Structure 1
Amino acid sequence: MDTKAFRTLNYGLYIITAKNDELRAGCVVNTFAQVTSKPAQVSVAINKENVTCGVVQDSGAFEASVLTESATMELIGRFGFRTSTELDKFADTQYAVDELGIPYVTEHAAAHFCAKVVNRIDLGSHILFIGEVVDAEVLSGDAAMTYAYYHKVKGGKTPPKASSYEQPEEATESAEAAAPAAEPAATEGVRYGWKCLACGYVVEMDELPDDYTCPICMVGKEMFKRIEL
């Protein structure tokens, strides 16, 4: 089977958030979609290993923020490559709270949807939640980001817990990053930096310390590639 065929499918990029008595959590997905109009229902598949998945199950409700093309890699990295049990993802994020008490991201968001879970399907690695929309609002007129835009324009990568993650491609990329690369010859007036192959974060620095970790997704130096700025 040619898994590249899946790349022809069109997706958006969304931040799913939820809250229970103990924790507010959020993660980035590309699997949010409308499934019916009357009643208005949506679906989202979330990896069981994501903290957000457990919080949605506990609370029975979730929010979905539609990210725009202006969304920063810092915002995407915060919700897509960090865990909610180790980081308060909302601390440095603009958000509002819906009528159910769920926080939802408002910065770089085109719209948001509040949904109550009415059904769930165990898909093995993921749980598919079906939710009835109880509130929705347009937040900006900016263009919504597609998954293709995230990869081709933003240079973003797919986290291992994502539904569209492809192990062979990511493993090859990691191996290439780990292999010592020839450093570009010094050129007057040229600036160099390092780009994280996991989340796309870029730091301007001649050399990375051996113990350097990405401030967004926390991967080590071996996952950075030297680039010309």
Structure 2
Amino acid sequence: MDRAILDQFDYGLYLASAAADGKFYGCIVNSLSQITSSTPEKFSLSLSQSSATKKAIDKAGVLSITLVGASCPDNILNEFGYKSGRAIDKFSKFDTLTDAQGSPYLKEGMVARISFRVLDQLDAGSHTLYMLEVIDAEAFSTDPVMTVRAWNARGNEAPLAAPVFRTLDKKIGWKCTVCGYIYPKEELPADYHCPICRAPASKFEKL
């Protein structure tokens, strides 16, 4: 099989977020898809089984998803795309709002917000596939939605939690033990520094 074919697909980037145990969790995903047009509309979403955000969604039963704008600042995508909610509070650096169900979300750099209720879920091995029902929605701007390809064009790797095929092919990369950033390549240069917290290569551990 020519796996490179799967790199021809492009995907929107979205910030999925939920509240659980008094804390806010969120991560960048690229797997949101509308599956019905009848009211209330149904969507599907997949999340890694190891995601802290996934565990928060399971507890809350509701979530908010904001559509990331093409002009979204890099620091937002870096915070929610590569760091772990187990290690830090990703929302602490930003002006955070909550929807009627208590799910956190950002307006900065975002196109719109959609609040969802979880209807069902399916174990898909490394990921969980959710069926979601729209509760509420709110538009913020007319900015186009950021895509994986547009993010790559800025010189960045696809966010860790975005379940594009190449991130599922095999577990490779190095994790910064300071902030949780993932360097998604087999070999880590000796003079490498984390682009998020500037920790040296010695602070990285192989996945």
Q: Same fold (TM over 0.5)?
A: yes
> What is the CA distance between 1:177 and its match in structure 2?
5.2
The percent identity for this pair of structures is 27
Structure 2 gaps of 5+ residues are 174-183, 203-207
1:158 paired to 2:158: yes
Q: 2:4 — aligned with what?
A: 4
Q: What SS does the aligned partner of 2:18 have?
A: strand
Match of 2:185 in 1: 174
Whose radius of gyration is greater, 1 or 2?
A: 1
What's the CA shift string for 1:87-117, capped at 9, x where partnerless?
1111112332100011112110001110000
**Structure 2 match to 1:25:** 25
Secondary structure, aligned partner of 1:7: helix
Question: Counterpart in 2 of 1:35?
Answer: 35
Asked if the contact 1:61/1:117 (under 8 Å) is kept, the reply is: yes
SS at match of 2:92: coil
Supply the RMSD in Å over aligned alpha carbons: 2.6
SS in 2 for 1:157: coil
1:53 aligns with 2:54: yes
Cα deviation for residue 32 of structure 1 reads 1.0
TM-score of the two chains, using structure 1 as the length reference? 0.74
CA distance in 2, matches of 1:215, 1:149: 20
Q: Once the two structures are superposed, what CA deviation does each residue of 1:139-170 show, in whole Å capped at 9, x if it has no partner?
A: 11111111111112x22213454421165796
Q: 2:27 touches 2:161 (CA, 8 Å); kept in 1?
A: no
Consecutive unaligned residues in structure 1, runs of 5 or more: 180-207, 223-229
CA distance in 2, matches of 1:219, 1:5: 35
Contact kept in structure 2, 1:151 and 1:157, CA below 8 Å:
yes
Q: CA deviation at 1:118?
A: 0.3
- Structure 2: how far apart are the matches of 1:176 and 1:23? 35
- Which secondary structure does the structure 2 equivalent of 1:178 belong to? coil
- The SS at the match of 1:37 is coil
- How many aligned positions are there? 191
Distance in 2 of aligned mates of 1:215 and 1:97: 26
1:31, 1:66 → 2: CA distance? Answer: 12
Cα distance per residue 1:36-56 (max 9 Å; x no partner)? 111301111000111000010
Paired with 1:74 and 1:82, the residues of 2 have a C-alpha distance of 11
Aligned to 2:117: 116
Alignment of 1:58-69 (within 5 A): 58-69=59-70
Tell me by how many angstroms 1:132 deviates.
0.4
Distance 1:86 1:76 in 2: 17
Secondary structure, aligned partner of 2:112:
strand
Task: Quote the residue 1:144 is aligned against.
Answer: 145
Shift of 1:174: 3.1
2:195 is matched with 214
Q: Distance in 1 between matches of 2:73 and 2:199?
A: 18
